[in-house]
Amino acid sequence: MAFRPVIRSAAGFVLAAGLAFGVVAVPTADAAGAAPAPAPAPALNPALAPALTLAPTPAHTGCDPLAGTACLLPFPDDWYTRPDRTAPTGRRVDFSPADLPVSAVAGATDPTAWNRLDGFSPGSALVLTVPGLDPAASGLAPVTDIGRSLARDAPVVVLDADTGQRWPYWAELDANDPQHRALLVHPARDFTPGHHYVVGVRNLRDTAGAAIAAPAPFARILGRELPHNDPLWQRQQEIKPVLRALARDGVRTSRASGLYLAWSFTVASTTSLTGDLTAIRDSAFAQLHGAAPAFTVTAVTDQTPAQDPNIARVVDGVVEVPSYLSQPGGPTGSVFHRAPDGRPAQLPGNVQTARFRCEIPRAAFTTPSQASLYGHGLLGSRNEVGSGNVRAMAGEHDFTFCATDWIGMAAEDQNTVVTALESLSTFSATTERVQQGVLDALFLGRDLVHPAGFASDPAFRTADGRPLLDPRAGVVYDGNSQGGILGGVLVAESQDVKRGVLGVTAMNYSVLLNRSVDFTALQPALDAGYPDKLEQQIVFQVMQMLWDHAETDGYAEHLADHHQVLMDVAFGDHQVANVAADVEARTIGARLHVPAVAAGRSPDVVPYWGIAPLRDAAGPGPDQNQNQDQDLDRRPGPDHRPGSYQGATMVVWDSGTPPAPLTNTAPLGPQYGHDPHSDPRNSPVVRTQKAVFLTTGVTIDVCGGAPCTEPPAG
């Protein structure tokens, strides 16, 4: 049964649709290839990197005059930062209310939440407008040919100024906006946190094949030295290091060179991206002094085999968690209470009561079970742990799954989420409460492994006192869809969870939302607040800067450093776009089961470009394109054996669905066939692979060396 919330927005309209990114949020327990190329080689010797260091730029006021277009374009742009020696990047975001989009519902945006950051999102798309642009005539690298982005004559050049390397990307026009047709340049792997980047756009053509002239302000900057009293003089000085960096990479930068635009931006540091959640985690766990979190079992429901063949006992209860939110108990709409240093702080006595549900399998009454946290879907609840596929895996493989409401993105947060889409000023009420929700789940995980936690309670023991949880096995994580998108945060931050399965997953909402059939239900809220489609693309990027603190995009760079991750992907997924899963795999250094899909299934020139194959874990083979960046393959896992792999992996499951659109639109319409989003979790074969991975850390080949296929779930 699909979860169909009715949401009333501040604009007064009503939304009713399935909003779980395909994870069925159930109110009851009955709901139901070619070898990939390695990554592109550095286009510039890293020894030249010191020459690419950008000169510091001052703080600014007003919109960047560089392109003479909408404010915040091009985006991201260091014009909207200021120098800050206390920040790890040396910069601090410096938005003013006049810079940010104005909500038609709520008015100007308060920039406070953004101005704490020391840079932009590592997953940010580059956004600009180019009137008359023809991507094909200009030779822009499409999503089907990412390797073209690193060609010497590529029309868009993105350089990591700290290393001298070119960065891979794909470019597309916003298919949702025929008026402005914004150019969106997406990193094919997330930008490196804390690094500085230089962008050059050149040799663009219109539909008639004619060259497109640079915007007038930028053309003047490319010309002769401007007098000191010229309004563009300061900007000309700031752009000079950018032009020098591009010139060292072979990009011509004279006024007659065909250079359309050039600028630079800074990516937020890891400290900025993860610091709030890490701070509340460390503070909360320090308060335990080694003890188990306090909990109360509120209900124990034993079931007969006739009632449920897999689950023998359901345990409900609450865990007490220090709350760092601004209101007592942290209700929906709360944001972090912050100390003078800007970090979240606990109001005296503020405690979060995290409700949980655990499903204990029948097998546990014979052999103690593996404990696992479960992550529910968008705007769902802990009750999703009782859905059919989760119960099946529990029964088949002796797992006890426990879940808590992922507050911030739980059922009770529906109206808060809608309001956030209508008004950027309220968006932090979503992302900051999600981080508290992650802390709630971390405390639940500690109770699952601590000897004085659940193991000490009769609810988790047999009638004769034998444990139902295996005390030696620790705790793992399994989540689907929204549980995969946010689950990477929990895995990355957990000191107890060492392995996690991220099912039908991806990261980066600024990429996902336009491409998801689920977002059509929420689109009216965004339209009410920001009716201009060009402005919506800016809103997505600005939102992503805060989303990074609460979803995998902000944690991906180091997710696989100390944790093992298995990504399950449904080919042609209608709800969580495959392109964003591919970016996640490249960023975390995941290896790919190959052949990933049958020949001819992928529309890409090089299917799964830049994701190294499982069968070649020792390094690149002689047939691999030497034009690829081996840095994308920087985290080989240990213990590689034929048919198995121990490390971060991605497995693509194909139910026969056609590929998703190649544009930033959702696969709406019968031509896109069956939505395969729920198919992997409903497959016994997939559940076997997941169970082996979660208990051993090894990804076994359950597909016999062939593409992994599975009939659509019934």
Report the alpha-carbon distance of residue 478 to residue 392 in Å, rounded. Answer: 13
Identify the pLDDT of residue 53. Answer: 58
Report the alpha-carbon distance of residue 194 to residue 185 in Å, rounded. Answer: 20
Please say whether the beta carbons of 700 and 708 come within 8 A: no
Report the alpha-carbon distance of residue 155 to residue 149 in Å, rounded. Answer: 8
Q: For residue 256, give every residue at least 6 positions away whose Cβ sits within 8 Å of its Cβ, in sequence order, or none.
A: none
Q: For residue 50, give every residue at least 6 positions away whose Cβ sits within 8 Å of its Cβ, in sequence order, or none.
A: none
Report the alpha-carbon distance of residue 121 to residue 554 in Å, rounded. Answer: 8
Identify the pLDDT of residue 110. Answer: 97
Class for the domain spanning 46-271: mainly beta
Overall average pLDDT of the 134-143 stretch? 98
The answer to whether residue 1 scores a pLDDT higher than 80 is no
- SS3 sequence of 547-576: HCCCCHHHCHHHCCCCCEEEEEEECCCCCC
Residue 54: pLDDT band (50, 70, 90) is low
Identify the pLDDT of residue 70. Answer: 84
User: Would you state the structure tokens that stand for residue 320, as one six-digit string?
Assistant: 């007490």
Report the alpha-carbon distance of residue 636 to residue 659 in Å, rounded. Answer: 29
Identify the pLDDT of residue 55. Answer: 65
Identify the pLDDT of residue 714. Answer: 62
Count Cβ neighbours within 10 Å for each residue of 664-684 and write b for 16 or more, e otherwise.
bebbeeeebeebbbbbbbbbe
Task: Give 528-568 pLDDT, tens digit per residue.
Answer: 999 999 999 999 999 999 999 999 999 999 999 999 999 99
User: Would you state the structure tokens that stand for residue 7, as one six-digit string?
Assistant: 């949401």
The answer to whether residue 49 scores a pLDDT higher than 60 is no
Identify the pLDDT of residue 644. Answer: 63
Task: Give 603-627 pLDDT, tens digit per residue.
Answer: 999 999 999 998 743 333 323 333 3
- SS3 sequence of 389-457: HHHHHHHHHCEEEEEECCCCCEHHHHHHHHHHHHCHHHCHHHHHHHHHHHHHHHHHHHHHHCCCCHHHC
Residue 569's DSSP bridge partners are 652
Identify the pLDDT of residue 433. Answer: 97
The answer to whether residue 329 scores a pLDDT higher than 60 is yes
User: Would you state the structure tokens that stand for residue 464, as one six-digit string?
Assistant: 């004769």
Identify the pLDDT of residue 354. Answer: 97
User: What are the extents of the domains in the chain?
Assistant: 46-271
Which range among 107-121, 245-259, 502-516, 625-639 shows the weakest confidence by mean pLDDT?
A: 625-639
> Which one is predicted more confidently, 712 or 538?
538
The answer to whether residue 144 scores a pLDDT higher than 70 is yes
Alpha carbon 624 to its chain's center:
29
Share the mean pLDDT of the chain.
89
Report the alpha-carbon distance of residue 252 to residue 151 in Å, rounded. Answer: 15
The answer to whether residue 8 scores a pLDDT higher than 80 is no
Task: Give 354-389 pLDDT, tens digit per residue.
Answer: 999 999 999 999 999 999 999 998 888 999 999 999
Task: Give 663-705 pLDDT, tens digit per residue.
Answer: 999 999 999 999 999 999 999 999 999 999 999 999 999 999 9
Identify the pLDDT of residue 645. Answer: 72
